[in-house]
Structure formats: C-alpha cells, structure tokens
Amino acid sequence: MPNNQFKKGELYSFITGKASTAIARNLQKKFNTAGLKITIEQWSVLYHLWKEDGKSQQELCNATFRDKPSITRLVDNLERLQLVKRVPADNDRRINLIYLTRQAQKLQEETMDLAEATLNEALEGVPADRIEICKEVLQIVYDNLR
C-alpha cells in the first residue's frame, strides 16, 4: 500500500487543485483591476511567445499542455484581440507561426509583475526550503502522470 498518505478526507483538494485555482483567480482579478482585457489562458500563451516569438501552434500545444483545438481557439481569440498574428511558414505550408504584435509586447512587463505579486501573496509565510520541496513534488507528480 504505497503512499497512502492521502486519507480520504484530504484527497479532494489535491485532485481539484484548490491552490492553483486560487492562484489563477487571484491573478485574473489583478488583470481585470488593472484594466488588462486578457484571460489567464491567453496570458499563458503569450508567456511562451515572450520567451520565444514565432512558435508554431504545435509548439504552443506542447509548451502549454493544451491540445490542438484549444490552441486553435486561443490563437483565434488572441488574433481577434490583435495580440498575435498567424504567419504561414515558408518551408511547410501546414504550419502557422505565431508572432506577437507590438501591443502584446507591451503587455509583458506589467503582467509578469502582477504574476509575481500573486505568487508573493500566495507564498507569504512559507520558508524557501519548503517552497522548493513543494515545487519538486509537483514536478514529480507531473512527470509520473505524463
């Protein structure tokens, strides 16, 4: 009986991701309050484009752990908001490369600051070494299930 650390009553919040839901809601509220009209999901796509612009939709799938239809629609909405542009790849006409617009580039600093603020609030009072352990456990969980 391995890992039966999770008694019935405690299993719930782990599965439902109470903590990460709370983090996402908090950050979304910060976006709204700041008048930034983007969703957390859209932000998560921009996040990877800020790291490297011109990724394909498939690369965005891998980076964001979403399936292809989800990325199609997120890119649809981001394009409607004039935050990204689909550009067909030269060498392979199946591929769309996604490029940030000027507008989206301007969002980076402000949204990243808000994200950092959310994490600081979330982790207030938690010692660094415990955060480290928590991160490691969550990474193992992810790897175990992949």
Partner DNA sequence: TTTATTTAGTTGTTTAACTAACTATATGCC
Partner DNA sequence: GGCATATAGTTAGTTAAACAACTAAATAAA
Residues in touch with DNA (CB under 7 A)? 21, 24-25, 28-29, 32, 39, 41-42, 56-58, 61, 66-77, 86, 91-96
Q: Which two tokens stand for residue 45?
A: 């796509």
57 binds, among DNA, a copy of itself, none (CB under 5 to 8 A by kind): DNA
Q: Does the footprint of a copy of itself cover residue 65 (CB under 8 A)?
A: yes
Task: Report whether 81 contacts 45 (CB < 8 A).
Answer: no
Nearest distance, CB of residue 63 and DNA, angstroms: 12
Q: Which two tokens stand for residue 75?
A: 């890119």
Q: Where does this chain touch a copy of itself (CB under 8 A) — which range of 72-80, 88-96, 98-106, 121-129? A: 121-129
Distances (CA, A) of 92 to 23, 55, 57, 146: 39, 14, 13, 29
Dist. CA 84–CA 77, nearest whole Å: 9
* 16 vs 82, beta carbon nearer a copy of itself: 16
Q: Does the footprint of a copy of itself cover residue 91 (CB under 8 A)?
A: no
Dist. CA 31–CA 84, nearest whole Å: 19
